[in-house]
Amino acid sequence: MNLLQKIKILSKLGEIMRAIGTKQKWPGFSTGINEAEYNDLVELTKRVKVYNGWFIEDEVRNAFTGIGGWLNENDLTNWVDGYAINEDKPKAIALIMAGNIPLVGFHDFLAVFLSGNKAVIKLSSDDKHLFPALIHVLSLFDPKITEWVEIKENKLEGFDGVIATGSDNSANYFHSYFGKYPNVIRKNRTSIAVLNGQETKEELIQLGHDIFTYFGLGCRNVSQVWIPKDFEVNRLYDAFFQFNDIVNHNKYANNYDYNKAVYLMNLQEMLDNGFLLLKEDQQLNSPLGMLHYARYSDLNEVKEFITENEEKIQVVVGHGYIPFGKAQNPALNDFADGVDTLSFLTSL
């Protein structure tokens, strides 16, 4: 299977994922699969919450839509253009995937697959059903996909390089275990927003998507907002009201209630609207169900903060940064942690 063939089957998968992500019925045989095969994948997007309560149908569809947007011939071709792809001597690349949001490791798989290497994948126990289902669809287009991807249930072995994503603690383990191999090892990151006070209500609503999508569990979710000294915090609550249904999700509600109780017992000041706690705090990471905010009098303070915490921040949202509402919609060349995985893979 050469690069062009890989791009063609990925593009077919993209058509299917976009259709499912936007709740379309089976588009027809042009997708390359029959109606029963299509509906099986649709059913999985609904059923997967049984295995991971965070993976509700809407969030799985969000992931399908986002990934499906990457998977078209034009974007994939442009993405790999300029890299020295060598398909004659594939390396085996161990991929250790996280499971905080649906299919969070798919971009790494794409990079390995298109770089001419074989992906040897260790799935997270929190997300072990969606990826195999997508690989099965690819196998319907070309059975040779199994020569390029292998899902390992047990110990990883026989690999030439590693891409691993996890917490700060697991990253320490990865470094000690995989340090002798060429590697990309990622730690915890989070995202922030910078407001200048001139934002429209619609922009603040879009900021709500950056905060609440995937329940705030992703590294691209905004966990801290920087606001001018005179910014009225109620503007945030007014814009975020349409997301109030999130508290009806029991896992989110449990976190929200727990953190609310802890802060009340410790007599710490915070604001509460019934589904989101707001606390003035310059700590980057906020507990689930809480958003930190920090006030500034000079934007240079914020720029200095961003520079000091560069290795802990994934995305900055705001005017002059990533547009509001786009934190969860990275382009193919928006590499996690700023590490060009395609360059890493093609240089092995």
pLDDT in tens, 188-203: 999 999 999 999 999 9
Range of lowest pLDDT (70-84, 117-131, 175-189):
175-189
Alpha-carbon separation of residue 319 from 120, 229, 322 (angstroms): 40, 17, 7
Residue 191 pairs in a beta bridge with 222
Alpha-carbon separation of residue 23 from 64, 69, 92, 147, 230 (angstroms): 11, 15, 36, 32, 43
Mean pLDDT over the full length of the chain: 96
The predicted structure's pLDDT at residue 172: 87
The predicted structure's pLDDT at residue 87: 87
Q: How confident is the model at residue 341 (pLDDT cuts 50, 70, 90)?
A: very high
The predicted structure's pLDDT at residue 146: 93
| Residue range 65-76: mean pLDDT, rounded | 98
**In this model, does residue 305 exceed pLDDT 90?**
yes
**In this model, does residue 169 exceed pLDDT 90?**
no
SS3 state of residue 163: strand
Specify the DSSP element, H or E, that contains 94: strand 92-96
Q: What are the structure tokens assigned to 211, written together?
A: 């905060």
According to DSSP, residue 156 is labeled -
pLDDT in tens, 50-69: 999 999 999 999 999 999 99
Q: What are the structure tokens assigned to 7, written together?
A: 């791009």
pLDDT in tens, 222-273: 999 999 999 999 999 999 999 999 999 999 999 999 999 999 998 999 999 9
| Residue range 139-150: mean pLDDT, rounded | 96
Alpha-carbon separation of residue 207 from 232, 334, 336, 348 (angstroms): 16, 19, 20, 39
**In this model, does residue 344 exceed pLDDT 90?**
yes
Fold match between 3-188 and 190-317?
no
| Number of C-beta neighbours around residue 122 at 10 A | 17
Alpha-carbon separation of residue 252 from 132, 256, 288, 289 (angstroms): 27, 6, 7, 7
User: What is the identity of the amino acid at 249?
Assistant: H
- Please determine, looking at this structure, whether the domain spanning 190-317 carries the CATH number 3.40.309.10: yes
> Which of 145, 96, 100 lies closest to 121, judged by CA?
96
**In this model, does residue 151 exceed pLDDT 90?**
yes
Task: Give domain limits for the chain.
Answer: 3-188, 190-317
- d(CA 173, CA 113) in angstroms, rounded, equals 26
The predicted structure's pLDDT at residue 155: 87
No. of helices (H) and no. of strands (E), the chain: 12, 11
- The whole-model pTM stands at 0.95
Question: Options 3.40.50.970, 1.20.210.10, 3.40.605.10, 3.60.40.10; which CATH number does 3-188 get?
Answer: 3.40.605.10
